Structures are given as structure tokens and as C-alpha cells.
Amino acid sequence: MIIGAGIAAVYAAESARKAGFDGRIILCGDEGEAPYDRPPLSKKVLQETGEADRISLRDSAFYDAHDIDLRLGNAAQRIDREARQVTFSDGTSLGYGTLVLATGSSLRTLAQLPPEMPRVFYLRRISDAVALRDALPNLRKLVVVGAGVIGLEVAAVANGMGIEVTVLEAGPRPMARATCAEVCEFVVKQHEQRGVRIRTGISIMEVTELPSGYRLGLSGGESIDADAVIVGIGVVPNVSLASSAGLETCASGICVDGQGRTSDEHIYAAGEVAFHFNARMGRAERQENWHHAVAHGEHVGRSIVCGGPDYEEISGYWSDQYDFSLQSFGVSIGERNIVRGDPTAGRFIVFHMEGDVVAGVSSVGAPREMRVGKALVRSAASVPVAVLQDSSIDLAKWQSAVEHSAP
């Protein structure tokens, strides 16, 4: 049985079948919609009517072909580990031989701006995106609280619709957890050149409801009016089901080993809820991106059936804003960040270094360089900084020459 109906859950089910599991698979989700892709919620779903109907992860034929019993709109409430049963919100219970928890994350909320307030939007579910999409054409002034990836993607969409957008960030810079200062500088300039105001080091102290929106009192003593507010201040892993069952959890998620196994040998966890051991990194970590949800879901589904090596995937993310796409792979903030190319021209790559090793890469408008950068990350290549900075050197040829000259 799999609890959760997101990306990790679907890929775990599919992977288990591919690995030869021929028993019963029940996939249970608390939302009424069939499993869908989340990245488009802050992009295309906000821009195009009908896009919400096109983001399903799989069609109904997939679940039939893989003999997956899809049960939706019924939240898991309690795990009885001794009886190996899960009780759901409708009072029913189901037994399991092996249980996979792919419960994902929930949005952090602001006490001053709870989700139930009118014209206050949080973006996590398809219903959230549809509600925001319908509201955007009627807005003149929008405040986005939180300058992370999702907040800035929404800001870009709203700006493209002619809405006056202000982004408020409590931290010292936007995308502080997601990317380095060099990439951040480029992204901020793209927004500011289009008229988006980004305010950092500032918090909301007071909220006053107006007839047509809100007046937000800020930590600097000033205030700003908005027709609507979007809050995007991060997520927290959904560990309550696991912790109430006595499984080992921490602030970073459900603790699992390199196979995805929890402190109970019959229960696994997959995706962004899992504080998982990564053999390549040599440590436990938590990832909140699409790439990891797919890879870890596949890994856990396969591990349950036939075991194998511990998880060692390198993950990354992408973000589409305006006419540029930011891609990141591996470590996104290095001990040193080496820029290659010209950020002012919108075509550059940043190598994130740990010592003299390329531990990660981020790029804008440089797909060929990104492919080479990913190869350097996968090989944990030691590359001189002068080589990385010199755009006249073909990195692919340089790497090939080094590999052929190695004893």
C-alpha cells in the first residue's frame, strides 16, 4: 500500500511493477483528483485555461495496465503497526504487507494571513492554482510574500499580465536556499527590469482588511496596499502520520536508510517527506524537487521488491520565469561559485565548487554547457578554476583529453 498520490507515489508503484512485483498495489490519496504534476501549478496552470486538465501524471489506462488500485479523496488517519493496518478518514481500514509513505509536504503559513482569508492565496494543490488563475485578471496590485522559486515564478506570471507586483522577503536575498548569489543577482535584475519590486529583510507586522484588499504594515514602519496576497514561504514535511505511529522522524522528515526503509522494516518512505541517506553524498538529506521525487520513488519501489545498492542520485531543479529558464544540478551553492559566460547576455553557467571539485552547476540559456557541467558533477571532476572561467576552452574536449590521459 502507498499513502500519498504525488510524483514519488506513482513512480514507486510503477517501479515495483517493473521490478517484478505481482501482488496488490493500493495507491491512496487525500485529494479527489488523480495524481498530477505540481511544477506547472506556478506557471502554465496560472496562464492557460484548461491547462489544469492536462497535467495528470498518468491516464486511467496506466493504472489499469499496471493493476494499481487508485483510491482518492480519503486521507490516512492512523497506522497500526502491530496489526499492519491503516485507518482512513471515512472510518475504513486496510491491511498492508509493506507500506510506503509518500505523504509529501504542507505549506508553511503566516498567522497574519491564514489560507481561509479572502484574496489570500497559497499554492500547493491544483485547486489553489485554479483559484489564483481565476483571480489574477481582476487584480491591479499584488503582493507576493516569499522570494523563493515559487514566489518569483508567480510574480513573473502576474507581471506578464500587467499587474503591479511587490515581492516581500524576510531574508537577506531572494532564493537564498535555492541558488547562489551570482545567479540570484541575474534573476533579481530580470524582475526589476520589468517593474517588479523586490524588498528584502522585511516582514509583515500587521494586516488590515480593506474593502478591496489589504493594507500590510511592514517591519520598516511603512505600509503597502494590495488587492490580493500570495504567500510562498516554504514547506514542512508531512510526518505526523509516521510520528504518531512511533516511526523515527525529525524536523527534516521521516528518517530512512539508503533503501528508503524506516525504523519499521515493513514501512518505507519516498520523496520529499523522506530524510533519506544518499550514498554518494555520504549523509542524510532532504530534497524538495521533481527530479528527486521521481528518482527516489523509483528507487524505493525497486528496493522493496529486489533490494540493490543504496540511493545515490544527484538531483536538481528548473525554474521558468519570463523568457529564461534556470537549471540547477547537484549542489546549488558552493564554497566558490565560478561564473562562465555573460550574465548580462542571459547566457551563462555557474560551477559550484567544493574544494577543486565541481559539486554542482546552474545555468541560464546555456544547454550545451549544462550538459557538460552535469557530466563533470557526475564524475566528481577536479577542474582548474582557470579552465572553468575561460569560455574559449571547450570543456567537453578538455574533459575527454583528461580522461584519455589518465593512467
DSSP labels, 41-99? GGTHHHHSTTGGGG-BSS-HHHHHHTTEEEE-S--EEEEETTTTEEEETTS-EEE-SSE
Higher pLDDT, 182 or 393: 182
CA 224 to chain centre: 30
Give the integer Cα–Cα distance in Å for 66 and 137: 41
Stretch 162-183: mean pLDDT, rounded? 96
User: Is the Cβ–Cβ distance between 326 and 340 less than 8 Å?
Assistant: no
Torsion of Cα atoms, 282 then 242 then 293 then 332, to 10°? -50
Q: Which residue has the cell 500587521?
A: 206
CA distances from 346 to 44, 97, 342, 349, 390 (A): 22, 52, 7, 10, 17
| 3-state helix/strand/coil string of 104-166 | CEEECCECCECCCCCCEEECCCHHHHHHHHHHHHHCCEEEEECCCHHHHHHHHHHHHCCCEEE
* Pairing verdict, β 223-226 and 213-218: antiparallel
**Average pLDDT estimate for 140-158:** 97
Q: What's the predicted TM-score (pTM) here?
A: 0.94
Banded model confidence at residue 52, pLDDT cuts 50, 70, 90:
confident
- Position 381 scores a pLDDT of 79
pLDDT recorded at residue 404? 67
For 232-346, strand residue ranges (E) read 235-237, 249-250, 253-255, 267-269, 274-278, 283-285, 316-321, 324-330, 336-342
Whether 232 and 151 have beta carbons less than 8 Å apart is answered as: yes
Question: pLDDT digits over 326-355, tens only?
Answer: 999 999 999 999 999 999 999 999 999 999
Average pLDDT, the chain: 95
Q: What is the CA radius of gyration of the chain?
A: 23
Question: What is the structure's pLDDT at 407?
Answer: 55
Residue written as grid cell 537549471: 327
Q: How many CA atoms lie within 13 A of 348 on its CB side?
A: 20
Cα separations (Å) of 130 from 51, 136, 163, 272?
10, 10, 18, 24
Q: What is the mean pLDDT of residues 248-258?
A: 98
The label of the residue with cell 531572494 reads 174
